[in-house]
Amino acid sequence: MTREFQASKPIYIQIADHLSSQIVRGEIKPGEKLPSVREMAIVSGVNPNTVQRTYSEMERMGIVETKRGQGTFVIQNEEIVDSLKTQLQREIIDRFVQSMRGLGLSEEDITEGLKQYLRGEQDGR
C-alpha cells in the first residue's frame, strides 16, 4: 500500500479513509484483525505514530476496536459499516457537486451530465 499522500490532508486521515473504503467494499470484513501498527507503518511507508493515530481515530469513530494484547479489529456491527458507507457516499457526492458548481453548472446540467455518463458506462464506454 505504499502510496503517494496528498499534502492537503493529514496522512493519518488518508490512511483511515483508505481502510474505511476497504471495509465498505468488503475487502476487510467485520471482526477481521487489522495489521499491527508496526506492520501497517512499514506497508504504508509512514511512522508508527501516524498509524497509531489512524487506529485511534477509527476507534473514536466506532469503526474499529482495540482488544488489549490482541490487536485492532473491525467492529462486528453491520449498521456501523452501512453508516460508514452512507457517510463516504455523501462525502464523494458533496465533492463532486461542489466541483461541478465551481464550473458554473446548474443542478440540471449536473444531473443531465451524470445521466449521460451513466448511460455511456452501460454502453461499455
Q: pTM of the entire structure?
A: 0.78
What pLDDT does 125 receive?
52
Q: Mean pLDDT in the chain?
A: 92
pLDDT over 60 at 2, yes or no:
no
Task: Count CA within 13 A, CB hemisphere, residue 89.
Answer: 8
Distance (Å, rounded) from C-alpha 47 to C-alpha 41? 6
Q: Answer whether 78's CB lies under 8 Å from 31's CB.
A: no
Distance (Å, rounded) from C-alpha 66 to C-alpha 64? 7
Q: How many CB atoms lie within 10 A of CB 28?
A: 19
